[in-house]
A and B are shown apart, each in its own frame.
Chain A
């Protein structure tokens, strides 16, 4: 079976993308894996101005996962356009650019400037990073604020707009409906769950930022439930992510209602994870006699 699919008008070779913040700007992974065998990659979040990120320690392993508090270290939009985009443009895969700002205006200004870059598949709007105080997290908790950000971005760009949602909310379906109403073409969910780890000897937090974002297999059941919940609440396509490390995980997300998936933390353990998951989905589809990927999407029998 042909795994090709389409999300918000973007043609994908297959439904597997690499998640924001887990593939930087493509260069490092291209040396060890074949990005052209993936549906696409989502860049590490870009902010209007450069950011140093949080002080170390930024990473710690937790049961079946890890916490990170990178803090959106990134070169800023100007440097991204001048120095990261030229390489990304050479890749034979779809490039989704992930953006974050402190204010609605910043989000809109960035989207307006990215409009000039031809070749961008879509903009993923990060309204959900848990590691930045004044950043996306403020928007993610409020359906109204989330919708305002998406509406502002929508009004300045013709590119497809994907809203990346936080799981750290009371009702993710409410946020999903709000951003759908504001013009989002698709949703990515979920971002990381807020978590922390403590050094009992020193009675101090292990992470320099005290709390961080939990990712990896530990969060997969949470992500899956949220995809299923949101699938029933909206019409726009969902890109599912959260702890996907095998083809079976990815297929579970498709069955729960995701039209595509993102592989994140798994690439840290196996830089070829995305490609291996793609192969596994192909095998599953061939074996189960599926003609089109859409037959799987949301096919959960309850």
Chain B
């Protein structure tokens, strides 16, 4: 973990409201693993005040940069979206627990929705390089909100898309696609990141097919390093533990959790 003064190398809109920023952060690029994130200081003033947590979308350890993909939907992302090439931002990372590796030969099903897609790109690329078969299923509201094929090309053996309005791919939910994949072959492992309702549904379908599922969770975050105990998720408290173990910190104990560990009803 290091707090790097990262220079902005690129910052472009790649889909409606979605931006891809490339940050010169050689130390983070050298250490980062899929599922990890960075906490970026988008303003040195007090507005916005807290840093912006961003999952890592891809890394280039040789050249020394990381890519983060973000949706321009609030004050922090708005501030980040107007950063120009050459500006420097403090970037703390890599943070959090990464996805764990599947057993050799397992088919990997990656399910991403909305802004949950970036960690799936990093994970997919890594798994492909290691020789795994990767099916990436992506959900979005409409075609315009879908990332172009070139961003996903290296990150999947096959890409399946779903849209709420039917404007690209399957007209319906991304979990319909997952169910279809699991029905044809269930010797799989599922990885997912996206809106809470989607993640919960993916975890539910995975449990129904008795397939392991790792979820990457999100919660309003302050420090990103476990000192504020703000970004917690309710977990099934293991036997013998006190109620102190009812909540885990998403930033350091996660963001990646085994889906079976989470109290979804909470």
Q: Chain A 95-109, CB within 8 Å of chain B: the 1/0 string? A: 000000000000000
With a cutoff of 8 Å between Cβ atoms, the chain A residues found around residue B247 in the complex are 52-53, 56, 73
Q: Are A64 and B46 in contact (CB under 8 A)?
A: yes
Q: Which residues of B contact A270 (CB under 8 A)?
A: 3, 41, 90
Distance in angstroms between the alpha carbons of A299 and B65 in the assembled complex: 49
CB pair A56–B90 under 8 Å, yes or no, is: no
B233 in complex: contacting residue of A56, A76, A267, A269, CB < 8 Å? A56
A149 on interface, CB distance cutoff 8 Å: no
Pair A24/B230 contact, Cβ less than 8 Å: no
Bound Cα distance from A267 to B50, whole angstroms: 10
- Contact A50:B244 (CB < 8 A) given known A32-B3, A55-B266, A268-B50: yes
Q: What string of 1s and 0s marks CB contacts (under 8 Å) between B72-109 and chain A?
A: 00000000000000000010100000000000000000
Is B49 within 8 A of A58, CB to CB?
A: no
> Is B223 interfacial (CB 8 A cutoff)?
yes
Cα distance A140–B39 in the bound complex, in angstroms: 36
The answer on a CB contact under 8 Å between A31 and B1 is yes
Residue of B nearest to A59 (CB): B230
CA distance A294 to B222 in the complex (A): 35
* Distance of A62 from chain B, by nearest CB (Å): 8
A268 to B48, CA, bound (A): 13
- Contact in complex: A56, B222 (CB < 8 Å): no
Q: How far is the CA of A217 from the CA of B45 in the complex (A)?
A: 10
Give 1 or 0 for each of B16-50: 1 = CB within 8 Å of chain A CB.
00000000000000000000000001000011111
Write the nearest CB–CB distance from A45 to chain B, whole angstroms: 11
Could you say which interface size class chain B belongs to? 20 to 34
Point out which of A51, A60, A267, A271 has the most chain B C-beta atoms below 10 A from its C-beta: A271
Interface centre among B2, B219, B242, B252 (most CB of A within 10 A): B242
- Shortest A242–chain B CB gap in Å is 14
Q: How far is the CB of B242 from chain A (nearest CB, A)?
A: 4
Complexed CA–CA distance, A218 and B50 (Å): 13
Interface string of B45-58 (1 = CB under 8 A from A): 01111110000000
Contact partner, B246, options A52, A216, A269, Cβ 8 Å: A52
| A237, chain B: closest CB distance, angstroms | 26
Structural contact, A32 and B229, CB atoms closer than 8 A:
no
Q: Chain A contacts of B3 at CB under 8 A?
A: 32, 270-272
Interface size on A, residues (CB 8 A): 43
B172 to nearest A CB, angstroms? 26
CB-CB under 8 A from A248, the residues of chain B are none
Chain B residues with Cβ below 8 Å from A31 are 1, 225
Q: Are B266 and A59 in contact (CB under 8 A)?
A: no
Which B residues are CB-close (under 8 A) to A57?
219-220
- Scan A26-52; emit 1 where CB is below 8 A from any B CB, else 0: 001101100000000000100001111
* Given A64-B46, A64-B49, A66-B222, CB of A268 within 8 Å of CB of B246: no
Which chain A residue has the least Cβ–Cβ distance from B45? A64
Looking at the complex, which one of B228, B233, B244 makes contact with A268 (CB distance below 8 Å)?
Answer: B228
User: Is the contact region of chain B dominated by helix, strand, or loop, or is it mixed?
Assistant: loop
Asked whether, in the complex, the Cβ of B230 is within 8 Å of the Cβ of A76, the reply is no
Are A70 and B50 in contact, CB atoms less than 8 angstroms apart?
no
Partner of B227, one of A52, A64, A267: A267
Q: Does A188 contact B (CB under 8 A)?
A: no
A28 to B229, CA, bound (A): 11
Residues of A within 8 A of B234 (CB): 55-56
Q: Which residue of A lies closest to B46 (CB)?
A: A64
For residue B169, give the distance in angstroms from its CB to the closest CB of chain A.
29
Q: How far is the CA of A272 from the CA of B223 in the complex (A)?
A: 12
Q: Is the CB of B242 within 8 A of A50?
A: yes
In the complex, the answer to whether B49 meets A217 with C-beta atoms within 8 Å is: yes
Complexed CA–CA distance, A95 and B190 (Å)? 45
Task: List A contacts of B228 (CB < 8 A).
Answer: 21-22, 59, 68, 70, 268
Is A23 interfacial (CB 8 A cutoff)?
yes
Does A216 contact B229, Cβ atoms closer than 8 Å? no
Q: Which residue of A lies closest to B75 (CB)?
A: A61
A74 at the interface (CB under 8 A from B): yes
Write the residues of chain B forming the contact surface with A, with a CB cutoff of 8 angstroms.
1-3, 41, 46-51, 90, 92, 219-223, 225-234, 242-244, 246-247, 252, 266
Can you offer 5 A-B residue contacts whose CB atoms are under 8 A? A24-B226, A32-B225, A56-B219, A59-B230, A270-B3
Interface residues of A (CB under 8 A from B): 21-24, 28-29, 31-32, 44, 49-53, 55-66, 68, 70, 73-76, 79, 216-218, 265, 267-272
User: What 4 additional pairs, Cβ within 8 angstroms, besides A57-B220, A58-B220, A73-B244?
Assistant: A52-B246, A56-B231, A58-B231, A66-B50
